[in-house]
Structure 1
Amino acid sequence: MIPGLKPKEATAIINSLVGGVVPKIGVQHITVGRSTEVEAFLQALNDVKNGHSMVKFWIGEYGSGKSFILHLLNTVALKQKFVVAQADFTPDNRLYSNDGKGRALYAAIMDNIAIQTMPEGGALPVLLEKWIEQMLLKTCQEHQIPMTAIRDAVHLPKIEANILATVNGITEVGGFDFALVIMKYYQGFIGGDDQLKRNALKWLKGEYHTKIEARQDLGVREYINDLNYYDMLKNWCKLFVSMGYNGFMINLDEAVNLYKIGTAAMREKNYEKILTIYNDCFQGKVSNLFLNIAGTLDFLENERRGLFSYQALKSRLETNRFETREIRDFAQPVIRLLPLDHNQIFVLLKTLKDIFEFNYSVSMTVTDEDILFFMEELFNKPGASEFLTPREVIRDFLSILSLLRQNPSLDKKQLFGNLVVHDERPNDLLLEDIEEL
């Protein structure tokens, strides 16, 4: 039995891992071999809590645990009273764009806002209403109005003035429209106008595509777009801190999609945006912001297409030359994720067997010796040393458990003998020698 494991977490873990993805909840129960990384992350989180900002790059090969570590960081940060959000880079979600792809990344981030009581995302309306309640209390205290009377229409101008003054006081670029839309959300909230609330939320989440739409629905001059979305993220960070949260952590996965951008000029613009954010964080231009980016070794080190192709980033992100496999420096911006060793994988598989049994309320006849035999068979297969990833090991193990649960008479050793190692690396990466468009 896994201490503290909830049925919902067990189901999420099993279903997600069988599907080859990382579960959104419960990852702390399957954390093996990452204690030093987590300890270093906690120290960095404490620095951000104290007003600093941070950018970390989590680098590893396909299936090495990059997505897992980001979900684990989410869990840790939520417990430390951070607002967290996660999004993936895709061909349509980028840091820099002139055709809506930057705004699309912002929208994905805002759609996945999470807090400890809502770890799976969708927490933005809850946060807004929490902040509005704080504004109501503040107005009551300043004007000596009873809480029972603060929602009366006569007090609306005082509350709106407080909202505008507070938001304008903590925001910078785009602060006026940002404050105005939050006030519109308040008006919908206090007046029971659900459509006004939806329109305001649509604007705040970056879902308007033109100024005309935004002006018609909300009377604002601007909308969140490719040029200003980063400023809006900084505004949100300040607003979250003003609510009492310790900071805003954003995790961006699948950074290989920046590496795969076909044109060198557009790729460079995206790397330039990374440099801007990096400099803002480490030069103290922004507070309480923590950005994690996960990508492959090529995304980092490839000198033609990766971050190292941009000299200003290469000079900042080169690994501590005194670091070795045994002596790690987790304080540097780049954290290289080493693969789990066989002992760690054994512990992980034992844990997954316990979770599987808990999820299905069964007792499997799979012993420790069976798990060792499974590992021996798998790791001795042709291609295992080159292609085998923790993701494939986990998926194969859970697939066999699933078959045995439904067909108890099956021969375990025969199933283990039928294991095959596949090359899971994507075959659509652009080769270095392809001519730039």
Structure 2
Amino acid sequence: MKIPKRIASAVINSLKGGVVPRIGLPYITVGRELEIDALLHDVDIIAEGGASFRFIVGKYGSGKSFLLQTIRSHVMDRNFVVVDADLSPERRLQGTKGQGLATYKELIRNMSTKTRPDGGALTLILDRWISGIQSETVAESGLDTSDPRFRKLVEQKIYTVISALNEMVHGFDFAKLLTIYFHAYWDGDDESKAKVVKWFRGEYTTKTEAKSELGVNIIITDDDWYEYIKLFAVFLKQAGYSGLLVLIDELVNIYKVPNSITRQYNYEKILTMYNDTLQGKAQYLGIIMGGTPQCIEDTRRGVYSYEALRSRLAEGRFGREGVKDMLAPVIHLTPLTNEEMLVLIEKLTDIHAQLFGYAPTLTQEDMVQFIQIEFGRIGADSHITPREVIRDFIELLDIVYQNPQLQVAQLLQSSSFSYAQPQTDGDDGEDAIAPEFAEFDI
């Protein structure tokens, strides 16, 4: 498995820092086949004009964000546009001080396509749309681009695309701005193009400013930003993409809001999104939200505290431990098995060796012992997460690489690491440890 050093570095450094890398995920994806297949089935429905809404639920470090980023990579390969944002105290779904609009801005800022996977793809999408229509017009009409009739034909195609938006809420103004952008693109007016992009990004603060610069008497606000997400989904389909996928993580930040009324307003926004996608009021749109079990299932402060959502999302009478329903709106992540974790650390060993240019020294037995030690901790079956195991293992790889004189087997058996091992009594009743390696702190 050959991996470019740029990607290898991003993978190792991100995982060691406890965050999910935005590139290189196919090199380290292990398990989660059922979850990925279920979400990609939703993607097929979205591409055909449907919509979907899912919650990904798992405790901190269990792989929620990793699964979201994996789906992000998959759908961009399928010609989808992806927008993603993590909620925070400053970013919510609804707020009185611009918190909802802040989430919208973050989503648009992170707008990504296969050719622009790192975000900032809005201008590229708009330019590609117009350029594509021009190429299509040339092929169909045979006219030269300098022919006066050519612009009229292009305008007709542009209006055909944006006319599909006029029936939607705020669709008329959205279509008007697309028209302004087209004329600015044609005339080479970069200043006007930038103003339209600024409006789409939600950066106009007053209607007066938008009216004077663009001639539209409306701006995107806390209350209606989601309507523009639905408009973008339909427009992107018209512009040649398969649809729009919205990824929102860290729902726990709504759970943490101290004011119960503010929390309810946010849950009401989730209910609106959920109903729109399931009732066919949204098209070409998928929404996936990630959160911890507590922030979803707590009936006092969580999503389930909003009765209309709890009645829609709670498991039925047939749900039970060990039985997965991947068609339910809430997907609960189960821990990766020991075997899957072993496969993962084997991949990380290979990537680490390629990054630093050395022959791997860890044997299969070393890796098995590492997994046994990690999962042998007291309470590991319910509390240990892939994030912790991965971080420990990369630290081990770093130490062994920088100290080649160390024996891995002895290092794993040292007292500094043996806190994780099941205790075994020696003949004298004392714990059997290897004190000569106590100085190695891993």
* TM-score (ref. length: structure 1): 0.89
Secondary structure of the residue aligned to 1:87 is: strand
* More deviation, 225-234/63-72: 225-234
Cα 1:168–1:225, aligned 2, differ >3 Å: closer, same or farther?
Answer: farther
Aligned-residue offset at 1:408? 1.7
Match status 1:363 vs 2:359 = yes
Aligned-residue offset at 1:140? 5.5
Letter in 2 for 1:295: G
1:84 corresponds, among 82, 85, 89, to 82
Match status 1:169 vs 2:164 = yes
**Structure 2 CA distance, aligned partners of 1:107 and 1:31?**
30
Q: Write out aligned runs for 1:30-429 (5 A).
A: 30-137=28-135, 144=141, 146-149=143-146, 159=154, 163-164=158-159, 166-171=161-166, 172-382=168-378, 384-385=380-381, 387-413=383-409, 415-416=411-412, 417=414, 418-419=416-417
**Structure 2 CA distance, aligned partners of 1:293 and 1:20?**
20
**Structure 2 CA distance, aligned partners of 1:85 and 1:147?**
37
**Structure 2 CA distance, aligned partners of 1:283 and 1:181?**
29
Cα 1:209–1:57, aligned 2, differ >3 Å: closer, same or farther?
Answer: same
Determine what percentage of the aligned residue pairs are the same residue. Answer: 39
Q: 1:90-136: per-residue Cα shift (whole Å, max 9, x none)?
A: 11111112321111111111111111222222221111111112343
Structure 2 residues without counterparts, runs of 5 or longer: 421-442
**Structure 2 CA distance, aligned partners of 1:117 and 1:126?**
9
Aligned-residue offset at 1:359? 2.1
* More deviation, 381-390/347-356: 381-390
Secondary structure of the residue aligned to 1:286 is: coil
* More deviation, 395-404/214-223: 214-223
Letter in 2 for 1:163: I
**Structure 1 CA distance, aligned partners of 2:371 and 2:284?**
43
Cα 1:158–1:48, aligned 2, differ >3 Å: closer, same or farther?
Answer: closer
Letter in 2 for 1:341: T
Q: 1:317-358: per-residue Cα shift (whole Å, max 9, x none)?
A: 012432334331100100000011211111111111111112
Aligned-residue offset at 1:50? 1.9
Letter in 2 for 1:181: L
Q: 1:142-200: per-residue Cα shift (whole Å, max 9, x none)?
A: 8x4724316x6x86676556535532432412223222322333333333333322221
CA contact under 8 A between 1:320 and 1:329: conserved in structure 2? no
Larger Rg: 2
Secondary structure of the residue aligned to 1:94 is: coil
Aligned-residue offset at 1:262? 1.2
CA contact under 8 A between 2:26 and 2:70: conserved in structure 1? yes
Give 2:26's aligned residue: 28
Letter in 2 for 1:407: N
Cα 1:304–1:344, aligned 2, differ >3 Å: closer, same or farther?
Answer: same
Letter in 2 for 1:169: A
Structure 1 residues without counterparts, runs of 5 or longer: 422-437
Q: Write out aligned runs for 1:8-27 (5 A).
A: 8-27=6-25
**Structure 2 CA distance, aligned partners of 1:147 and 1:315?**
60
**Structure 2 CA distance, aligned partners of 1:376 and 1:38?**
28
Counting matched residue pairs gives: 416
* TM-score (ref. length: structure 2): 0.88
**Structure 1 CA distance, aligned partners of 2:314 and 2:85?**
25
**Structure 2 CA distance, aligned partners of 1:313 and 1:305?**
13
Cα 1:99–1:200, aligned 2, differ >3 Å: closer, same or farther?
Answer: same
Cα 1:229–1:145, aligned 2, differ >3 Å: closer, same or farther?
Answer: farther
Secondary structure of the residue aligned to 2:397 is: helix
Cα 1:289–1:103, aligned 2, differ >3 Å: closer, same or farther?
Answer: same
Aligned-residue offset at 1:29? 1.9
**Structure 2 CA distance, aligned partners of 1:100 and 1:385?**
42
CA contact under 8 A between 1:164 and 1:180: conserved in structure 2? no
Secondary structure of the residue aligned to 2:405 is: coil
Aligned-residue offset at 1:382? 4.8
Q: RMSD of aligned C-alpha atoms?
A: 2.3
**Structure 2 CA distance, aligned partners of 1:250 and 1:219?**
30
**Structure 2 CA distance, aligned partners of 1:46 and 1:84?**
15
Cα 1:310–1:83, aligned 2, differ >3 Å: closer, same or farther?
Answer: same
**Structure 1 CA distance, aligned partners of 2:339 and 2:290?**
25
Letter in 2 for 1:273: K
Aligned-residue offset at 1:10? 2.0
CA contact under 8 A between 1:320 and 1:332: conserved in structure 2? no
